[in-house]
Amino acid sequence: MTNLNVNEARVLGVLIEKAATTPEQYPLSINALTLGANQKSNRDPVLDLSEDEVFDAVESLRAKGLVIRVDQAGARVQKYRHHAGETLRCRAAELAVLAELLVRGPQTLGELRGRAVRMAEGSLQSLDDARAMIRALSDRPEPLVKQIAPVPGSRADRYVQLLCPDDRADETGSGDEASANDTPGVSMTLIERVTKLESDVERLNAMVRKLSVALGEPVGDE
């Protein structure tokens, strides 16, 4: 099983993504890879990698057979393309799903389909298509993806890539204090959701009290 560190996972995900979404700018230089790895959008978590860190990640991926250096005549800088499809034996739509998990972390089936469809033209048009790709990635002798628990308050199962063990979110989906301290982005999201729910409940209670008064019925908390 190929194991990647966090930087390698991000760089590989970016190479797969850019090959599909911006083919006119592909393959990528170290500078372009660094910009892609540090994007503020479509990335979770947002990283701040240096060009040296990206270069080290690329060279490590080359050693693992996942990246190829492209030497172009007259080019002033070296460029790189991924070799993930061949090395990992993945179809284009499977790679699209895997790339999304590499650059954005655990996601639900609906999130994966909605986000990966831009990288798999003509594929992933439905949840069944996405489910088939997940099944293909997970039903292997050495799975590349597996199902994990929903986030608190949700019933939707999530999926996580297995290439980078250090990059997995809390698989239990628990909102305990330790997890909240380690993942402030997640904890803030949960706090905001709870606050909104409390506000909605209070608003509904107020509406019920007004209706009770209008109908001449006793108010429940009196």
Q: Express each pLDDT in 82-105 by its tens digit.
A: 999 999 999 999 999 999 999 999
Q: Is residue 93 part of a domain?
A: yes
Answer whether residue 49 shows pLDDT above 90. Answer: yes
- Same domain assignment for residues 142 and 184: no
pLDDT > 80? residue 149? yes
User: Does any domain span residue 41?
Assistant: yes
Q: Is the pLDDT of residue 206 over 50?
A: yes
- Burial class for 46, CB neighbours closer than 10 Å (0-12, 13-18, 19+): exposed
Q: What is the mean pLDDT of residues 122-137?
A: 94
Please indicate, yes or no, if residue 92 is contained in any of the structural domains.
yes
Give the mean model confidence (pLDDT) for residues 190-196. Answer: 54
Residue 202 has pLDDT above 70, yes or no: no
Residues 181 and 159 in one domain: no
Same domain (yes/no): 154, 194:
no
Instruction: Provide the whole-model pTM.
Output: 0.75
106 and 157 within one domain: yes
pLDDT of 222 strictly over 50? no
User: How would residue 176 be classed by pLDDT, with cut points 50, 70 and 90?
Assistant: very low
Q: What is the pLDDT of residue 122?
A: 83
Identify the domain containing residue 53 by its residue range.
Answer: 6-167
Candidate from 56-60, 61-65, 175-179 with smallest mean pLDDT: 175-179
Shared domain for 62 and 123, answered yes or no, is yes
Q: Is 159 exposed, middle or buried (0-12, 13-18, 19+ CB in 10 A)?
A: buried
Is there a domain that residue 69 lies in?
A: yes
**Tokens for 126?**
């439905």
For residues 65 and 83, membership in a common domain is answered with: yes
Clarify whether residues 150 and 76 are in a common domain.
yes
- Cis peptide, bond prior to residue 165, ω within 30 of zero: no
User: Has residue 181 been placed in a domain?
Assistant: yes
- The mean pLDDT value for 27-48 works out to 97
CATH number of the domain within which 39 lies: 1.10.10.10
Is residue 137 domain-shared with residue 201, that is, in the same domain? Answer: no
Do 104 and 120 contact (CB within 8 A), yes or no? Answer: no
Residue 114 lies in a domain: yes
